[in-house]
Amino acid sequence: MILVAALALVAFLYATVGHAGASGYIAGLALAGLPAEQIKPLALILNTVVASVGCWNFLRAGHLPWRRI
């Protein structure tokens, strides 16, 4: 539960400044003692999910008008 809370906090803090937080996930998972073979795909998945949510919210807010592109 502590690891989940730490990853959620990292995701929130990084997302508030427009980043997805891969370095924070890697640090948290490494401190939890996970092997590198598990850290790499988990960090990639978490990073992709957080970046996707951020992009979706950015687009929904109308900050990128698709018709101009």
9-43 burial string, b = 16+ CB within 10 Å, else e?
A: ebbeebbeeebbbbebbbebbeeeebeeeebeeeb
- pLDDT tens over the chain, length 69 residues: 888 998 889 888 888 887 888 888 999 999 999 999 999 999 999 999 988 988 888 888 888 777 776
Of the candidates 13, 1, 10, 17, which has an alpha carbon nearest to the alpha carbon of residue 46?
10
What is the domain extent for residue 6? Answer: 2-68
Q: Which residue has the tokens 């990292």?
A: 10
Q: What is the pLDDT of residue 69?
A: 64
> Considering its fold, how many domains does the chain have in total?
1
pTM: 0.78
